[in-house]
Structure formats: structure tokens, C-alpha cells
Amino acid sequence: MTDSTIYTFDWQLREHAGVVGLLVRERFQSGVWRMIRWLVVVILALATIATLASLLLHDYSSAARLGPLVVLVGGATFWFEQWTGLIRAWQVQRMDPAVRHPISHALEESGLHIITRAAETRLDWGGLHRVRETPGFFMFYYSERIAYYLPKRVVGTEAEVANLRTLIRGWLPPDVPFQEG
């Protein structure tokens, strides 16, 4: 039997939204999704240039039709991660009664044990894809893009966070990366 460190916390909508936003941002940083993101940026830039050219050429009707569309699509693109995170967190809040009750994460030498009112999940350290530390969370990825998160607010002081970081790094096998940032 190994010692475990247990952290219990209440689920928070904004916190969950922030994690989802981070996962969405990660998704758009590689592969075909990165190309799609840049394609949208290029199209927005060209549409902005076309709108400005219409204004300079005194073609106000074209600018009036294209300008609001550029602003709307540009705004949606800029706020996509935040909106996606808030919408997904709102859905979880509505549909998952377990988030109305405390969530516990037990970190031990064998892995991560997540306990909610409705379910228990055990993740072995060797079965993780990676662990990432962000300014607000420890994130435990069990696939390339899906993660459980432990808010640092429940860990305690910076010294306690540093101690947990050291424990996690010590428990991870060499083939499971620990990323900061």
C-alpha cells in the first residue's frame, strides 16, 4: 500500500471553461487544424483589405456589406476558444450531476485516482500520454487531446505545488513527458 496525496475540490464553470479553451488552442496548433486556422486568418486579412479598398474607392455599398461580416467572423475567430470553453462548461454543468458534488484526485505512486459522486477512474502513470503543468493546473492527458485537470488552487502554497511537481515527475516513467507552460 502506498501513501497518496488527496485533493478535493468543487467544480467551477470558469475553471472548466479555461481548460477546454486551452485544449481547443492546443488542437489548432498542429496538423490540419493549424492549416485551417491560418486559412481563416488569411481569408480575414484579404476580406479586411477588400473592405478598406472599397472605402478608399468610395464604394460604400460593398464596404457596408463586407465590413460587418469581417467584424463578425473576426470576432468569432478571436473569441472562439473562450466561447467554446464556456459553452462546453455550461453543457457539463447542465448534464453532469456529478459536478455538483466534490471531486477528489488521489495522486499516488501507482497513478492518478479520480473520485466523483458517480464514478471512479484510475489512470496508471505509464498509461498517460503526458502531464502538463500550466499556471493554474496540472493536466493529466490520457490521450493526445483529452485530459483530467487538478486546479493548483487546491494544492496550496507554491512550496506545496513544487513538492507535488517533484512527486509527479518522480512517478512518471521516462516515456511519459512532463511539460511546463
| All structural domains of the chain | 4-11+99-180 (2.30.29.30), 17-95 (no CATH)
The 10s digit of each residue's pLDDT in 108-121 is 999 999 999 989 99
pLDDT > 70 fraction of the chain, expressed in percent and rounded: 92
Question: What is the pLDDT confidence band of residue 79, given thresholds at 50, 70 and 90?
Answer: low
d(CA 169, CA 173): 8
Cα separations (Å) of 68 from 51, 57, 71, 84?
A: 10, 18, 5, 22
Contacts of residues 60-67 at CB distance under 8 Å and 24 or more positions apart, as own/partner, are: none
* pTM for this model (two decimals): 0.74
Whether residue 100 has pLDDT greater than 90? yes
